[in-house]
């Protein structure tokens, strides 16, 4: 059953995912690479499956074998990130190298995800193990618009409402 859940998460097949869970698949099953069904669904933007697995009790702060959080997996899908944040995902949870979801969103040019994380109060002044900020990560990847936005906000206090 676990394999069926993992395949359903990969394919975005909500009915198959629900059926696999109903038949006893583990919500925390991993594939051969150590990825869970929810990490696969988050990475592919399969929002209904992410919701299903959250409702089934998946830990939204669980890390994969590489130290990536579900927010890191979902960086290209702000609507998935929003559901994860609403479920209690740690928006500043960093990888083993200190990379936060904001840094990942900035580096991958995901402006909508950057804006979502900022609006939710992500720490834009945080540095990774190399001493780089989210603005630095964007600049290193040629994401000039995001780098400019973040550089303009760095070191300024931001209230939890997203304003200055």
* 91-164 matches 1-66 in CATH topology: yes
pLDDT value for 65: 78
Residues facing 36 on adjacent strands:
30
Task: Tell whether the model's pLDDT for residue 156 goes beyond 90.
Answer: no
pLDDT in tens, 77-119: 999 999 999 999 999 999 999 999 999 999 999 999 999 999 9
First to last CA, the chain: 50
Q: Which residues contact 115 (CB under 8 A, 6 or more apart)?
A: none
- 91-164 folds as 1.25.40
Task: Tell whether the model's pLDDT for residue 13 goes beyond 60.
Answer: yes
Ranking 12-16, 101-105, 159-163 by mean pLDDT, the lowest is 159-163
Going from N- to C-terminal start, the domains of the chain cover 1-66, 91-164
Nearest to 72 by CA among 33, 48, 38: 38
Q: Which residues contact 146 (CB under 8 A, 6 or more apart)?
A: 106, 109, 111, 114, 135, 138
- 1-66 folds as 1.25.40
Question: Quick one: average pLDDT of 126-131?
Answer: 95
User: Which band of pLDDT confidence, cut at 50, 70 and 90, is reported for residue 155?
Assistant: low
pLDDT in tens, 18-71: 999 999 999 999 999 989 999 999 999 999 999 999 999 999 999 987 789 999
Three-state DSSP at 30 gives strand
Q: Which residues contact 62 (CB under 8 A, 6 or more apart)?
A: 28, 36, 69, 70
Neighbour tally for 75: CB within 10 Å: 26
pLDDT value for 98: 94
pLDDT value for 154: 64
The string over 23-40, giving b where at least 16 C-beta atoms fall within 10 Å of a residue's C-beta and e elsewhere, is eebebbbbbeeebbbbbb
Beta strands, E only, 16-106: none
């Amino acid at each position: 059953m676990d394999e069926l859940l993992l395949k359903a998460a990969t394919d975005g097949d909500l009915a198959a995912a629900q059926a696999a869970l109903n038949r006893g698949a583990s919500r925390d099953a991993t594939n051969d690479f150590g990825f869970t069904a929810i990490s696969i669904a988050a990475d592919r933007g399969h929002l209904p499956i992410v919701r299903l697995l959250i409702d089934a009790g998946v830990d939204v702060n669980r890390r994969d074998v590489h130290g990536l959080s579900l927010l890191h997996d979902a960086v290209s899908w702000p609507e998935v990130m929003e559901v994860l944040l609403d479920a209690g995902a740690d928006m500043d949870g960093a990888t083993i190298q200190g990379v936060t979801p904001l840094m990942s969103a900035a580096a991958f040019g995901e402006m909508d995800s950057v804006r979502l994380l900022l609006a939710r109060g992500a720490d834009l002044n945080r540095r990774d193990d190399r001493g780089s900020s989210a603005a630095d990560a964007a600049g290193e990847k040629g994401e000039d618009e995001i780098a400019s936005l973040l550089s303009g906000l760095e070191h300024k206090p931001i209230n939890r409402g997203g304003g200055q």
